[in-house]
Structures are given as structure tokens and as C-alpha cells.
Amino acid sequence: MKLVAAGLSDVGRERDHNEDSYAVESPLGMFIVCDGMGGHQFGEVASALAIAAAVEYVREHLTGATDKLALLADAAREANKRVIEEGARNRKRKGMGSTLVAMIHDGDRMGVVHVGDSRCYLFREGRIKRLTRDHSLIEELAGDDPQALAALGGYSNVITRAIGTAPDTQPDAKYEDIRPGDVFLLCSDGLSGVVKDAEIARVLARVEDLDACCVELVKLANENGGPDNISTVLVRAEA
């Protein structure tokens, strides 16, 4: 099955620098978004380092890999190790971290790995489905309870798991079957935190060109205030 992909990152309307990073590594069948944390400059260092480490690991170990999902999970662990090591080398960068959401193509399946609150969605036959659960205080305590979510709204930015914050950080990993026409979306919370899933689905349904679709999603997030950096990667499966 052929994959077509596009990506875009934007600083948003309220930030003066972009701590997000993304990569479209089509030759590897790998796609990734990271949202850095740790303050000015250091968040962007963490996200860029996490992506570089993960991509390098997959590139070095892809040949002969029999379980690509396990490979991608190991790549996330390597990213975690590298960010921690950089923080130990440079005291100013100690404590920096990043979310990570990544996919890898494996035949008729897509392997999905994530740490933190950057998300993966699947858009299929006009419907959108979230494939990841945020590693955040609000989702772990409230789940899908609307009243609990409203009550904990002030804790929406509290992340319970992130790349670079603990040596034993583990990613969540799962396979998802692929069908022709499926569109996968990876994004930072600069999109998912301000644009409802239904609004995202409407854009995915009406904009066929993936580059133009990324532009529309970023535009929508900015129209909704653009309080954070916004990153999107779209991957469409074609027969």
C-alpha cells in the first residue's frame, strides 16, 4: 500500500518561538511529531533531539526488523535516553522534555507509539477516531466524564509522562489496520487543544490535497486563538 504524506508547523499567535518539531520520513515509512517542554529554546532542543534520535534509531535498525512496532517503541526509548543525557551534560537544559507521537508503516498495518499528549487520529469514511489517550492528569483522572473534565479544566496542561523526564519512561504502542483512503493525523496539542475533533474531521473531509489540508488545520487553530505552537502531519493510504 502506498503512503502519501505532508507536514506543517506554525508558531501560533501567542508564542514567540516554536518548540514543536516534526519529521516526514517516507523512505522509512516513519512519521513523527514532538512538542518540546522546558522553556525558551530548551523545549525546541528537546523536541528536535527526540526526533533526531528516534529517526536515527529506526534508520539503523530497520533492515531485518520483524516487529516494526517494537522497533518504533525502542526508538522512543532511545529518544528518552538521549534527551536525559543532554540534560545531564548541560545543566541549563536539565529537566527539558518533549511529547512524542510517531507512526511506522508495516504492511497493511500502522504502528503507533506515543508519550505525552500529542495525538494520533484516524479519519476513515467520513469519521474521525482518536487512536491515542493523553498521558495527562486530566485524562487519567477524568477519563471521558464531561463533568469531571470540566472540573479539571485548569489542569489541562499537566503531563504525566514525557520524553526526557524519567529514565523508565515507557511509550504506549499499538497497531492499527490500514485501508485504502485512510488518513492518519499526528498533531501537537496546539491543534487538538483548541480545535474539536468534529472540526478537524470537517477539514479532512473537504480538503483533498494534504499540504493544503495541513494549512487549513493550522489556520483553524490560529482562528481559535492560536495559544500554542501547532504541528500537523497527515498520511494517506492509497491502493
What residue spans define the domains of the chain? 2-225
pLDDT at 41 over 90: no
| Percentage with pLDDT > 70 across the chain | 91
pLDDT score for 7: 98
Residue 229 has pLDDT above 70, yes or no: yes
Q: Given a cut of 70, is residue 144 above it in pLDDT?
A: no
CA distance 103 to 93: 28
pLDDT tens readout for residues 44-66:
999 999 999 999 999 999 998 99
Q: How confident is the model at residue 155 (pLDDT cuts 50, 70, 90)?
A: low
State the Cα–Cα distance between residues 123 and 179, nearest whole angstrom.
Answer: 11
* Predicted local confidence at residue 138, as pLDDT: 75
Helix (H) or strand (E) holding 67: none
- CA dihedral (104, 52, 45, 137) positive or negative: positive
- Mean confidence (pLDDT) of the chain: 92
Sign of CA dihedral 190, 192, 196, 199: positive
Give the predicted TM-score (pTM) of the model: 0.93
**Angle, vertex CA 13, rays to CA 161 and CA 114, nearest 5:** 20
The DSSP symbol for 163 reads B
pLDDT value, residue 110 = 98
Phi, psi of 129 (to 5 degrees): -135, 130
HEC states along 30-43? EEEEEEEECCCCHH
Strands (E), the chain: 2-10, 20-25, 30-37, 97-98, 100-106, 109-115, 119-124, 127-130, 172-177, 183-187, 230-238
Architecture of domain 2-225: 4-Layer Sandwich (3.60)
pLDDT at 29 over 90: yes
- What is the tens place of the pLDDT at every residue in 193-228? 999 999 999 999 999 999 999 999 999 999 999 999
CB 197 within 8 A of CB 121: yes
Looking at residue 157, its pLDDT comes to 67
Q: Where are the alpha helices (DSSP H) in 122-231?
A: 137-142, 146-151, 189-192, 197-206, 210-223
119-124 and 100-106 beta bridge pairing: unpaired
